[in-house]
Structure 1
């Protein structure tokens, strides 16, 4: 089970806060349409860092481990720090690992291990409030990922914006993973470098968000490539937010069969995500998520904002 303390800053009443969070209108921590977890999106597209004035903490607790994120917004810029990575989460890039490690993780329900620290910052370039197409915003984001195993730093950047009911985003970042390749006849500390490019487009329809995201991961030596398509829909009903998503991953990574408990070689792997969140108080939203860590496990969520 996992516990999420997702960051959102809002000054409206509970019913209004749910709508603000969903449609990106008035909450201080604006919800990125491509993912129901702001902390995950910050590590993929740094322009998703909230710039609205305030502080926030995100903690993800899973299997006796906690992933933390700290956020600070000043009004025109924002910064985030997270000692965790987003690989092999439903909305993140695939993890780099051996087949044996993949099988053990899936069989024992273990999330992909953390070895990154991400520092990200976002800046408001353009913003105009209003209604319809008169409302728009554009943000620039920069980030650096520090690998605790290789002691290297890799850069990244992104843009995101909205025009009326339409939203969009693009990011590109370099990354690396250090892993044990001895089972494949390699060294104990093999370093794989890769680049990730993403883009997303979204549509806000009153209390509904529809979003499409595309992610491409390619290693430096071009020995591995993964393409991911994500389809996400969110709906608000009163104090509830319902989220459903589908993930199609085209990669050479084998798929784990949860019925036979074996690995199968499938070129395209389908996974599904579901989430329900409920506004309990002005500063607390609780709920449950399914398959966030791609382990087909349930998670308990809590959103703390102030």
Structure 2
């Protein structure tokens, strides 16, 4: 092929030769049977080459750099990849933020009392021990009540047990009310006036300390007059010449309180710093506390006369 033919195509290769259009009268089809269809000869229809067509090879730049089209395509692909990665990153970040918010809310909801968190380990152990002991006592009380219930429901034995239980409670209430005498271990507490007078407030303080220490029955006696039973409604007043008025009864000093209960516990309660013994000694008097293996509280308190209430069976 000559140089003129290669330069005429602009690519260095000859242009494909189109089939010749048959000549005939204008507007009439070709009368030949083997003539091609008019649509096939339309200038708009694609023309298939008669043989294989060789594509021009663009050597491109010789320095190994990509062409502009390839660079543009690569840039577009890279841009699309970066867009997809950015969207996934945003979704992951949103899920992580939601998870973190959920964890914070849960921790705040299930957080413990700050006071309990600041408690020392020794205090927590002590609290746990106290709760365990309380649980044990409650279980013992439940077992005792259930046993009493079974005895009360079991025929003749139940009636006997019910009578015994009622008698025991009546005796306890009689001792507390001061209508029954009582005996048992306890103390005698003697108040001796010195340079100062034994006032009613000092005696009342001693009675309250003894009650707090578990005293079950008490009576007070003086140098003159009959002993007086001490119950919940007992009152104390200062009398003449250093005496006392206890529930309307006049007593002269020195005074002695006889009490039934645990001797060690009651003695400790009376001798605490700033307690009854210290206050009486500070006022010029003296207090003598003696343990007794058996003491008797024989004074009785007159029962109240009820006007409206009546016991029922």
- Interval of TM-score (by shorter of Structure 1 and Structure 2): under 0.3
State TM-score, norm by structure 1: 0.20
How high is the TM-score relative to the length of structure 2?
0.20
Higher helix share: 2
Give the number of the structure whose alpha-carbon radius of gyration is greater: 2
More strand by percentage: 1
